[in-house]
Amino acid sequence: MDILNAFVLLANFVIVPALAYGSQLALGALGVTLIYGILRFSNFAHGDTMAFGTMVTILVTWWFWSMGISAGPLPTALLALPFGIAATALLVLATDRAVYRFYRRVKAKPVIFVIASLGVMFILNGIVRFVIGPDDRNFADGERFLVTAREFRQMTGLREGLAIKTTQALTVVIAILVVIALFWFLNRTRTGKSMRAYSDNEDLALLSGIDPERVVVITWVIAAGLATIAGVLYGLDKSFKPFTYFQLLLPIFASAIVGGLGNPLGAIAGGYLVAFSEVAVTYAYKKFFAYLLPERLEPEGLMQLLSTDYKFAVSFAILILVLLFRPTGLFRGKAV
Amino acid sequence: MSINMKNVALFAVIFGLIAAVGIWQSWSVAFAILNLGLISALMSLGVNMQWGYAGLFNVGTMGFVALGGLATVLVAMPPVKEAWAAGGGRMMGALAVGALTILAARLVWQRMAPGRRRGLALAAVLILGFIAYRWLYVPAANAIESIDPASTGYLGGLDLEVLIAWPVGGLLAAGAAWIVAKTALGLRSDYLAIATLGIAEIIVAVMKNEEWLDRGVKNVIGIPRPFMVPYEVEIQQQPWFLDMASGLGTDPVSLSSIWVKLLYAALFTVVLLVILWMAEMALKSPWGRMMRAIRDNEVAAEAMGKDVTARHLQIFVLGSAVIGIAGAMLTTLDGQLTPGTYNPLRFTFLIWVMVIVGGSGNNWGAILGGFLIWFLWVEVEALGPMLMEFFTFWLPDGNPVREHLMKSAAHMRLLTMGVILLLVLRFSPRGLIPEK
């Protein structure tokens, strides 16, 4: 019984939150890795693109609320999501036209693209704060829990409860659907194949008649969709604050690099790896050991490896280890 | 260096703008802009050494600035004897154990043959080291933080002159830079960027949370001033100062604040000029030519027998040290260390805007960019609400749209900086004062 209790405790505080967080990171990292694979630069504006998409979704959600539209037990934000994706897609296409296309044409060095993305980051940051303000926003509605801790306890008779928030379940389900759709697109459709060809060998792809501008446009649209979905799911699960989204850049990049930049499968694996390490390292295991160990061996301290404020240190440490021992990432990304 | 009239004119415009603020707004504000402009110029000089001389992309400026700030606390604050007695020794032991663990792990990795035994030995060293570290660290931190937590609760510093903290801040930043560079240099440029972004976040996280070290978000206030900068209340009682105030026809209180800012400005100018002189000399020397050769064509330079990675390491550490010095100066000027205020937009990306706008590769350009962007950063914040007022005058008072716009106007400056960066990068990529 105690072993079961210990396991449920761990599931409640580590496995379920990390699964949800990992899915959000994986979606974010997929966007970064796609941009890297096709456009060949690290997009520092990705966190703020996420914030922009989420902001539009929140605004549309408020509009739906004011009209009395809701999605029943599901968050209304899901209905607003397509609007957010559309607006973000338009935005990134506009920035591509206004900013990045010029540097593609003059074949600028990747680092110039990165600096340009810093400028875009500033602008998006300004727009988001200008429109919705720098404060925390909570926009989740509908049923809060799929399973509450009390229900779980009554169902199983265990002392520990397992609570699953609707948003957590939704995150995982949506992430799986999106990833399936993306891989189907990349592997089975003509356009997806041309994108991969372009990513693998630009010259060869151009020779075989692939239109580079079309590939770029599709990449931006997909990246905008991924960013918005990731941002909205993160915002539903936790809350929306522009600065937090900016800070997500670090774990997202860590995920993408750990998996191997430019490799979509690696981005997903990296997302979960970073999320599980972050949550597992900052969780206090005192109660967990109290269930498993005999009473006289019970630990005195919190049994917490690192305080939660150091979660960025975790993604950073993973990043450094990978850079030291396997610079192209776990799944052999590109080395440009 | 031949004097270029255009560059002189550019600097004249900047100082003219600052003087205009002095005349129409207030001299106190003008000197505040000047002081922070000097510090910003030094930071952008440091980034320019890394980016302009060597093409290294460092987005961790915030961390090095914060380390400089930490140095002022560690050097200038009086030690807290009770805290040292309660847990100082144990804490030093914990830090020593931590450092030894990492060294031992490194030795194991280097000396043992690859294989399962090496992996096991490495894991054993790390786990044992970590347990020993926590066993020493946790009680020590608790003991230190429980000593009069409202006013101290930390170990304090060495009670030395705060000017000593400036080079110490440079050393701290150089040390951190060395660690980052050892791991991330020689890999792709993006990796260095992400690694520096990460180390900056970690440095600030440590400073926010390790209360035994610097009181964390409770802030350290009352950091002593350099010996030549008196306190306002002191000079207000000096007879010569009162005479000067009555001679100028101003009241001694506001004059004393300007006087103090002026002294700081003189101090910062000396530091900036010394470092600028050294940077210019280095750039003109054979070493500087080698750096630029490496930047422009790494492969060719390597074929000529230059050790590219070692030179990159060198310049990265040097540039970070300059940023660390600037960080120490900033905290000295503020008189307090507030780890909660280190924000990457302000202390990393804004510095980048300064370097790009000023002219990457040119030290004078970096300095000009530092002054100009800092000036805009301060003035756009004041200008934003004014412009908003102008654009929304047709809306009645209390209109929600108008109120929202007025409240958000302060965020205009992020937007402005982004637009400036993109415009300069696109239409004048070599900046205001291009590299020769």
Q: Is residue B242 domain-resident? A: yes
Residue that is last in its domain, among B128, B155, B182 = B155
Task: Tell me whether A42 touches chain B (CB under 8 Å).
Answer: yes
Given an 8 Å threshold on Cβ–Cβ distance, is A323 in contact with B184?
yes
Structure tokens at A118: 């810093």
CA atoms within 13 A on the CB side of B330: 30
Both B72 and B46 in a single domain? Answer: yes
Given an 8 Å threshold on Cβ–Cβ distance, is A121 in contact with B413?
no
Q: What is the mean pLDDT of residues B254-275?
A: 93
- Which of B182, B415, B416, B427 has the most A C-beta neighbours within 10 Å, making it the best mutation to test the interface with A? B415
Q: Is residue B84 domain-resident? A: yes
A243-269 as b/e: b if 16+ CB within 10 A: bebbbbbbbbbbbbbbbbbbbbebbbb
Q: How many domains does chain B have?
A: 2
Q: What is the DSSP letter of B386?
A: H
Both B122 and B163 in a single domain? Answer: no
Q: Is residue B432 domain-resident? A: no
Q: What is the mean pLDDT of residues B33-37?
A: 95
Q: B80, B145 in Cβ contact below 8 A?
A: no
Q: CA B364: distance to chain centroid?
A: 19
SS3 B86: helix
Given an 8 Å threshold on Cβ–Cβ distance, is A131 in contact with B421?
no
Q: B404, B383 in Cβ contact below 8 A?
A: no
ipTM of the complex: 0.88
Both B167 and B100 in a single domain? Answer: no
Per-residue pLDDT at A333: 62
Q: B411, B380 in Cβ contact below 8 A?
A: no
Both B131 and B17 in a single domain? Answer: no
Q: Is the pLDDT of residue B297 over 50?
A: yes
Structural domains of chain A, with CATH: 2-325 (1.10.3470)
Per-residue pLDDT at A336: 42
B247 Cβ partners below 8 Å, 6+ apart? none
Touching A: B residues 183-242, CB under 8 Å: 183-184, 187-191, 193-195, 197-199, 201-202, 205-206, 208-209
Given an 8 Å threshold on Cβ–Cβ distance, is B414 in contact with A123?
yes
pLDDT digits (tens, 9 = 90+) for B42-69: 999 999 999 988 888 899 999 999 999 9
Beta bridge partners of B337: B220
pLDDT digits (tens, 9 = 90+) for B177-207: 998 888 788 777 777 888 888 889 889 989 9
Both B219 and B308 in a single domain? Answer: yes
Per-residue pLDDT at A334: 59
The range of the structural domain enclosing residue B146 comes to 80-155
Residue that is last in its domain, among B99, B123, B155 = B155
Per-residue pLDDT at A91: 96
Per-residue pLDDT at B169: 96
Structure tokens at B9: 């004119």
Both B406 and B294 in a single domain? Answer: yes
Task: Tell me whether A115 touches chain B (CB under 8 Å).
Answer: yes
Both B91 and B143 in a single domain? Answer: yes
Q: Is residue B347 domain-resident? A: yes
How many other β-carbons are positioned within 10 Å of the β-carbon of residue A218? 17
Q: Which of A129, A261, A323 sits opposite B411 (nearest CB)?
A: A129
Q: Where are the beta strands (DSSP E) in B260-361?
A: 336-337
Q: Is the pLDDT of residue B19 over 70?
A: yes
Structure tokens at A278: 């972050």
Q: Is residue B150 domain-resident? A: yes
**DSSP-assigned letters across all residues of B42-77:** HHHHHHHIIIIIH------HHHHHHHHHHHHHHHHS
Q: Is residue B20 domain-resident? A: yes
Both B16 and B141 in a single domain? Answer: no
Beta bridge partners of B221: B336
What's the start-to-end Cα distance of chain B, in Å?
10
Lowest mean pLDDT among A310-324, B107-121, B225-239: A310-324
How near does any CA of chain A get to the CA of B285, in Å?
27
pLDDT digits (tens, 9 = 90+) for B328-377: 999 999 999 999 899 888 899 999 999 999 988 889 999 999 999 999 99
Q: Is the pLDDT of residue B392 over 90?
A: no
pLDDT digits (tens, 9 = 90+) for B131-184: 899 899 988 998 998 888 888 889 988 999 999 999 999 999 999 999 888 878
Given an 8 Å threshold on Cβ–Cβ distance, is A123 in contact with B199?
no
Both B98 and B34 in a single domain? Answer: no
Per-residue pLDDT at A288: 83
Both B221 and B267 in a single domain? Answer: yes
Pairing of the two strands B220-221 and A164-165: unpaired
Given an 8 Å threshold on Cβ–Cβ distance, is B183 in contact with A320?
yes
Per-residue pLDDT at A332: 67
pLDDT band at B2 (very low <50, low <70, confident <90, very high): low
Q: What is the mean pLDDT of residues B296-301?
A: 88
Provide the residue-wise pLDDT of chain A in tens; the chain has 336 residues: 788 888 888 888 899 999 999 999 999 999 999 999 898 899 999 999 999 999 999 999 999 999 988 888 888 999 999 999 999 999 999 999 999 999 999 988 888 999 999 999 999 999 999 888 888 888 888 888 888 888 888 888 888 888 889 999 999 999 999 999 999 999 999 999 999 889 888 888 889 888 989 999 999 999 999 999 999 999 999 899 998 998 899 899 999 988 888 888 899 999 999 999 999 888 888 788 888 877 777 666 677 777 777 887 888 888 878 877 787 788 766 544
Given an 8 Å threshold on Cβ–Cβ distance, is A130 in contact with B412?
yes
Residue that is last in its domain, among B155, B190, B210 = B155
Per-residue pLDDT at B3: 64
Q: Is residue B436 domain-resident? A: no
Both B110 and B67 in a single domain? Answer: no
B295 Cβ partners below 8 Å, 6+ apart? B53, B54, B55
Whole-structure pTM value: 0.90
Only one residue has tokens 């460092």, namely B58
CATH classification of the domain holding B240:
1.10.3470
Query: Helices B189-209 and A249-259 sit at what angle, rounded to 10 degrees?
Result: 130
Touching A: B residues 388-417, CB under 8 Å: 407-408, 411-417
Task: Tell me whether B352 touches chain A (CB under 8 Å).
Answer: yes
Task: Tell me whether A121 touches chain B (CB under 8 Å).
Answer: yes
Q: Is residue B200 domain-resident? A: yes
Given an 8 Å threshold on Cβ–Cβ distance, is A309 in contact with B407?
no
Structure tokens at B205: 């996280």
**φ/ψ (deg, to 5) at A71:** -100, 30
Both B255 and B230 in a single domain? Answer: yes
Task: Tell me whether A131 touches chain B (CB under 8 Å).
Answer: yes
How near does any CA of chain B get to the CA of A118, in Å?
7
Per-chain mean pLDDT for chain B: 89
Which helix (H) or strand (E) covers residue B232, if one does?
Answer: helix B232-235
What residues in A contact B202, CB-CB < 8 Å? Answer: 310, 312-313, 316
Query: Helices B27-48 and B5-20 sit at what angle, rounded to 10 degrees?
Result: 140
